């Protein structure tokens, strides 16, 4: 018995030992690999560059426990290598350094061929730059999964991958198009392929039949060929296909209707493909479709009313952005209850938002921005089963439409809303305080509307808010600390262009650290805001027109080194600036329209915009300005007190679009280096004391649109190189000492000219007959020269003056980041002049006065029906005026004085209802002065010096023999007294007509009405200015000439 027990015990112990050995062997099989595989992996690792020691676990012989290595549970053979970077840069991960920590580079060694059981190989999102995809990968014949996407490989993808007949998943997507394929024939050998992704791989050489080749891959369910430089598209017939992405190719064809035959599709991305034509309504009947993007094709069209009446049984995402969808959003949109995202950005959608939108319980994103939406937002919207409207909505974008009315209260009840963007509509009324209850709101955009009232204090409770924009509204009232109470995450604050008053304590410490701060046209001053010194991250600062009349504190320059935009223009900030100040490289600096004094300061780094105009800076322009800012794009130093010469280093700023040095006291010559600034659009050196010749190098400025050299001491003839300025629209050389004839090439070559002013020079000879080549010319000023001969009849063919200017288009040149050069024109009138800027495009002006012109008044000039100002005074012109001078229906000023005109004054002049200035004095006109309408508004000085003229307003009474084709004058005293009474009466009536008739006409013709009322307003302002002593004037026009701007 005892012996049996001993035997049983021995057997039991042996069984335990056997089990331990068995499980130990099994564990070794699961963790150890063969020596051959171990050596292969270690050799593979030696070829890798692993700066952060990501593969530190690759030690010992238990390779199946190494990071990224997988083995077969039964054989222990290595079957998986997964070394993808889980933090790809393209995902924009918010943890800095993660990508670099996980990144691998180096070379892929062929020792991997020893891994006979390898089925899974993933090196995606690493950086194997300059390496080609290894040819030997095509001999890992058991691979079923291969992912080399965005790993930095370059060159041609090897055709040997076609040997991987068991492959089911292939992703060779490229980073920046650095991979290419010559043919897709090799793909047809991979029979079992289900997933094919080749995003950013250059397939431009694969030929037109690429899609027919892919039709052989009958198991394919996913096809991604995004941005592959494809240009042809034949029908794809893959019945198992569920996900297709052909976006960002250039097919430039009609929408492919064959897509409707692929009923297994759940995801379609055909965005940015150049498709055009009608979107088939049958897309809404695809039974499995969940995702559809046709965005940015630009020319796809369909009626929204019809499109959204489809059933769309499973759709979740619809993206039609940047196309030509039209019509209204129908109430049927509320039936597409599976919808989570609807993007109709930048189409032609009209109408309003239907109330049924509230039934979209799963909707998270809605964008109808950039359309023609009109009407108001619905007062109420439908609700879901949960008795709330759009309970999951996170982003609502309705910017750049024409929505009107008030903002309804239901918007403030969208509890999950994170982004509310309603900028640039016509919404009005107070901003609802209920918006302050949207506790998840991160972005609030209400700018560019007509909201009025005060800013709700409840906004101070939006603790998640990062972007806050209520700029360009009609808001009033005080903004206090309460408005920012919990805004600790705020980074963008835009309150500009309102009438808000910032009432913040000097010792206030904001809870936020903003990057963009725009308080332009808010009342921030008079003191410079002290709380700004707490802001350490400001990159964009706009305090323009903020009522600041302080000096800039010293601490400000300690924070300026972060600024990429500094705009403190249109204030009364005074004092001197540091000779050097810090900003971010390539920043924009606008200090214009202040009271700064002292020398011109320079930034410590190069900037792109530098505007210091309309200040009191003095001294010379720094000689090294061009070396400090060689990449400057916009330079404006006009209207200061600068003296000395123009530095030649400005010619080194070869990227300049605008140079404005006008209205200073600069002397010397123009540096020839200006000809290096070949991108220049506007050059204004007017109102200085410059002299010499126009440099020949100006002929290099072929993009120049506006050239002002007026009011200097330039001399000589016009250089022939100017004929190269084929883009020139304004040539202003007035008030200089130029001489010689007007060259023939001016009329032949400068065909884009709209303004030509050669006023007050010493030009001579005849007026060229080829000026009609200047078909766009609206302003011709040749006054105060020595021109002789007759007025060319061809001037009647200046088509730019032959039609009424009814559309006001601001003439701005060199537009750069919201800053531009504003074109200007001085119109000289007797007793003063007008300076036009904003309404310049409405002016048609011809001044040939004070020359030695002779001959008759060309009847052809009466074809210039758009003329507003015509001045032929102080010449030797004779003959009578044509009767049809009344064709010049837009004429507001006519000066024919000091000539030799004769004959009667045409009675038709009285029909010129816009005529407000008339001077016909010192001629030989005869007969009775026409009466009635506008003629009754002119005084005696308009007709004096014509000894044979009679009738009001002259004191000379007309006799019975006056050649005026009117009734003879009665001889009794009663009639004389009636005439004496009629004169003041006619003046009164004429004045009434002169005011009321233009008012009635201009009410219909709005552009001229706008000009008229601006003129009256400016004239009244000018009178008031004479009577008022001002404490400070920010110079906006040419003060020393007493100009009047319109």
Can you give the pLDDT at residue 420? 98
Per the prediction, the chain carries an average pLDDT of 87
Can you give the pLDDT at residue 807? 63
**Ramachandran angles phi, psi of 244, nearest 5°:** -125, 130
**Gap between the Cα atoms of 420 and 322, Å rounded:** 20
Whether 593 and 509 map to the same domain: the answer is no
Provide the CATH number for the domain around residue 355: 3.80.10.10
User: Of 899, 896, 961, nearest to 928 (Cα)?
Assistant: 961
Residue 464 lies in a domain: yes
731: helix, strand or coil: strand
Whether 646 and 699 map to the same domain: the answer is no
Residue 175 lies in a domain: no
**Gap between the Cα atoms of 352 and 21, Å rounded:** 78
**Residue-number span of the structural domain to which 1032 is assigned:** 1010-1039
Domain final residue pick, 653, 688, 706? 653
Can you give the pLDDT at residue 700? 96
Can you give the pLDDT at residue 771? 83
Domain final residue pick, 404, 430, 455? 404
666: helix, strand or coil: strand
Whether 391 and 410 map to the same domain: the answer is no
**Gap between the Cα atoms of 920 and 929, Å rounded:** 11
Whether 813 and 676 map to the same domain: the answer is yes
Write the pLDDT tens digit of every residue in 199-215.
Answer: 999 999 999 999 999 99
Whether 626 and 740 map to the same domain: the answer is no
CB atoms closer than 10 angstroms to residue 1039: 11
Can you give the pLDDT at residue 972? 36
- In sequence order, the 6+-apart residues with CB closer than 8 A to the CB of 1026 are none
**Gap between the Cα atoms of 88 and 107, Å rounded:** 19
Whether 621 and 690 map to the same domain: the answer is no
Name all contacts of 761-765 with Cβ < 8 Å and 24+ positions apart.
761/733, 761/734, 761/735, 761/736, 761/737, 761/785, 762/737, 762/738, 762/786, 763/738, 763/739, 763/787, 764/739, 764/740, 764/788, 765/740, 765/741, 765/789
What percent of the chain stands above pLDDT 70?
A: 86
Whether 392 and 420 map to the same domain: the answer is no
Average pLDDT along the chain, 1046 residues, taken 10 residues at a time: 54 48 43 86 95 91 94 94 85 51 89 96 92 95 97 94 97 91 94 97 94 95 97 95 98 95 97 97 96 97 96 97 97 96 98 94 97 92 85 97 95 96 97 96 98 97 98 97 97 98 94 97 95 95 96 91 93 92 90 97 93 97 95 96 97 96 98 96 97 96 97 96 95 97 93 95 94 88 97 93 71 73 79 69 88 96 94 97 93 95 93 92 95 85 95 87 41 36 39 42 40 41 34 31 34
Residue 793 lies in a domain: yes
User: Of 48, 178, 71, nearest to 118 (Cα)?
Assistant: 71
Contact 311, 338 (CB under 8 A): no
Whether 870 and 843 map to the same domain: the answer is yes
Can you give the pLDDT at residue 966? 39
Task: Give the total number of structural domains in the chain.
Answer: 5
Residue 929 lies in a domain: no
Can you give the pLDDT at residue 827? 77
Helix axes 973-1004, 1006-1027, angle to 10 degrees: 110
Residue 903 lies in a domain: no
**Gap between the Cα atoms of 110 and 284, Å rounded:** 50
437: helix, strand or coil: helix
Residue 614 lies in a domain: yes
Contact 612, 618 (CB under 8 A): no
Domain final residue pick, 653, 681, 716? 653
Whether 745 and 868 map to the same domain: the answer is yes
Write the pLDDT tens digit of every residue in 629-669.
Answer: 999 999 999 999 999 999 999 999 999 999 999 999 999 99
Can you give the pLDDT at residue 129? 85
Three-class DSSP labels, 762-818: EEEEECCCCHHHCCCCCEEECCCCEEEEECCHHHHHCHHHCCCCCCCCCCEEEEECC
Residue 382 lies in a domain: yes
979: helix, strand or coil: helix
Residue 133 lies in a domain: no
Write the pLDDT tens digit of every residue in 684-728.
Answer: 999 999 999 999 999 999 999 999 999 999 999 999 999 999 999
CB atoms closer than 10 angstroms to residue 14: 10
Whether 428 and 322 map to the same domain: the answer is no
Can you give the pLDDT at residue 68? 95
Residue carrying structure tokens 């609700």: 383
Whether 648 and 756 map to the same domain: the answer is no
Residue carrying structure tokens 């059933």: 311
- Computed from CA positions of residues 595, 600, 604, 610, in that sequence, does the dihedral angle turn out positive or negative? positive
Q: Quickly list DSSP for 4-51.
A: HHHHHHHHHHHHHHHHHHHHHHHHHHHH---HHHHHHHHHHHHTEE-T
Write the pLDDT tens digit of every residue in 454-495.
Answer: 999 999 999 999 999 999 999 999 999 999 999 999 999 999
**Gap between the Cα atoms of 262 and 61, Å rounded:** 51
Whether 360 and 450 map to the same domain: the answer is no
Nearest 10 degrees: Cα torsion 972, 975, 980, 984: 180
């Amino acid at each position: 018995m005892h012996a049996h027990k001993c035997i049983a015990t021995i057997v039991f112990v042996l069984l335990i030992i056997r089990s331990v050995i068995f499980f130990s062997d099994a564990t070794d099989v699961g963790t150890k690999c063969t020596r051959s595989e171990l050596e292969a992996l270690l050799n593979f690792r030696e070829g890798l560059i692993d700066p952060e020691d990501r593969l530190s676990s690759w030690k010992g012989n238990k390779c199946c426990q190494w990071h990224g290595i997988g083995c077969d549970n039964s054989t222990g053979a290595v079957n998986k290598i997964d070394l993808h970077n889980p933090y790809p840069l393209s995902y924009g991960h918010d943890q800095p350094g993660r990508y670099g920590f996980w990144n691998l580079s180096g070379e892929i060694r062929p020792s991997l061929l020893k891994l006979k059981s390898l089925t899974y190989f993933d090196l995606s999102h690493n950086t194997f730059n300059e390496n080609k995809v290894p040819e030997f990968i095509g001999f890992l014949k058991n691979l079923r999964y291969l992912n080399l996407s965005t790993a930095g490989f370059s060159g041609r993808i090897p055709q040997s991958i076609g040997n991987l007949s068991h492959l089911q998943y292939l992703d060779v997507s490229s980073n920046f198009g650095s991979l290419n394929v010559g043919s897709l024939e090799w793909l047809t050998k991979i029979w079992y392929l289900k997933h094919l992704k080749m995003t950013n791989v250059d397939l431009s050489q694969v030929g037109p039949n690429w899609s027919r080749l892919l039709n052989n891959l009958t198991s394919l369910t996913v096809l991604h060929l995004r941005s592959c430089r494809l240009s042809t598209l034949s029908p794809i017939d893959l019945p198992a296909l569920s996900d297709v992405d052909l976006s960002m190719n250039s097919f430039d064809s009609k929408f492919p209707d064959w897509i409707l035959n692929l009923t297994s599709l759940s995801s379609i991305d055909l965005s940015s493909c150049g498709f055009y034509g009608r979107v088939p309504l049958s897309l809404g009947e695809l039974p499995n479709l969940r995702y559809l993007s046709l965005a940015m094709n630009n020319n796809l069209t369909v009626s929204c009313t019809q499109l959204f009446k489809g059933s769309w049984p499973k759709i979740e995402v619809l993206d039609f952005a940047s196309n030509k969808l039209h019509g209204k959003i129908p109430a049927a949109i509320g039936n597409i209850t599976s919808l989570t995202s609807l993007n109709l950005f930048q189409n032609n959608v009209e109408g309003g938002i239907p109330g049924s939108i509230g039934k979209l319980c799963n909707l998270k994103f809605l964008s109808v921005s950039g359309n023609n939406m009109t009407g108001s937002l619905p007062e109420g919207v439908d609700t879901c089963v949960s008795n709330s409207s759009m309970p999951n909505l996170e982003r609502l974008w309705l910017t750049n439409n024409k929505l009107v009315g008030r903002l309804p209260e239901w918007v403030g009840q969208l509890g999950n809303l994170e982004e509310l963007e309603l900028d640039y509509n016509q919404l009005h009324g107070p901003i609802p305080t209920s918006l302050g209850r949207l506790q998840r709101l991160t972005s609030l955009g209400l700018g560019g509307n007509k909201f009025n009232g005060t800013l709700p204090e409840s906004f101070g409770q939006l603790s998640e808010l990062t972007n806050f924009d209520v700029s360009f509204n009609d808001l009033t009232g005080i903004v206090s600390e309460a408005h920012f109470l919990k805004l600790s995450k705020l980074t963008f604050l835009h309150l500009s262009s309102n009438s808000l008053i910032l009432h913040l304590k000097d010792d206030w410490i904001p809870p936020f650290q903003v990057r963009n701060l725009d308080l332009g046209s808010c009342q921030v001053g008079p003191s410079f805001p002290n709380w700004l010194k707490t802001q350490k991250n400001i990159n964009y600062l706009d305090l323009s027109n903020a009522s600041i009349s302080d000096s800039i504190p010293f601490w400000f320059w300690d924070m300026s080194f972060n600024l990429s935009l500094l705009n403190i223009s249109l204030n009364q900030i005074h004092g001197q600036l540091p000779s050097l100040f810090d900003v971010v490289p390539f920043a924009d600096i606008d200090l214009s329209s202040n009271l700064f004094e002292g020398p011109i300061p320079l930034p410590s780094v190069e900037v792109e915009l530098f505007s210091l105009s309309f200040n009191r800076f003095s001294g010379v322009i720094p000689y090294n300005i061009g070396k400090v800012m060689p990449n400057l794009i916009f330079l404006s130093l006009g209207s200061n007190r600068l003296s000395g010469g123009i530095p030649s280093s400005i010619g080194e700023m070869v990227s300049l679009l605008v140079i404005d040095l006008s209205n200073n006291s600069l002397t010397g010559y123009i540096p020839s280096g200006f000809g290096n600034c070949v991108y220049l659009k506007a050059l204004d050196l007017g109102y200085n004391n410059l002299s010499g010749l126009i440099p020949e190098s100006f002929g290099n400025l072929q993009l120049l649109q506006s050239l002002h050299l007026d009011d200097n001491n330039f001399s000589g003839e016009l250089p022939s190189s100017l004929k190269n300025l084929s883009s020139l629209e304004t040539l202003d050389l007035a008030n200089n000492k130029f001489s010689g004839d007007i060259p023939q090439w001016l009329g032949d070559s400068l065909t884009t000219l709209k303004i030509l002013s050669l006023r007050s020079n010493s030009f001579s000879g005849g007026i060229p007959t080829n000026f009609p080549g200047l078909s766009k010319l609206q302003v011709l000023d040749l006054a105060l020269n020595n021109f002789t001969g007759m007025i060319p009849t061809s001037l009647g063919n200046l088509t730019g003056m032959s039609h009424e200017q009814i559309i006001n288009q601001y003439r701005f040149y060199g537009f750069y980041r919201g800053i531009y050069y504003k074109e200007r024109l001085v119109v000289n009138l007797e007793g003063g002049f007008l300076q036009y800027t904003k309404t310049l495009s409405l002016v048609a002006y011809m001044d040939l006065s004070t020359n030695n012109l002779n001959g008759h008044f060309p009847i052809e000039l009466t074809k210039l029906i758009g003329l507003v100002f015509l001045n032929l005074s102080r010449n030797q012109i004779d003959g009578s005026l044509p009767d049809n001078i009344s064709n010049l229906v837009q004429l507001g000023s006519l000066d024919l004085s000091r000539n030799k005109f004769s004959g009667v004054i045409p009675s038709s002049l009285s029909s010129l209802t816009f005529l407000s200035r008339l001077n016909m004095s010192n001629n030989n006109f005869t007969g009775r002065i026409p009466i009635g309408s506008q003629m009754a508004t002119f005084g005696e000085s308009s007709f004096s010096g014509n000894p044979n003229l009679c009738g009001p307003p002259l004191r000379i009474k007309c006799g019975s023999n006056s050649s005026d084709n009117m009734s003879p004058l009665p001889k009794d005293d009663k009639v004389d007294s009636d005439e004496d009474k009629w004169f003041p009466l006619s003046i009164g009536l004429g004045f009434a007509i002169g005011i009321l008739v233009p008012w009635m006409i201009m009410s219909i013709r709005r552009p001229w009405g706008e000009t008229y009322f601006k003129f009256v307003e400016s004239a009244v302002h000018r009178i008031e200015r004479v009577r008022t002593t001002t404490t400070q004037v920010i110079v906006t026009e040419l003060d020393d000439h007493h100009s009047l701007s319109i």
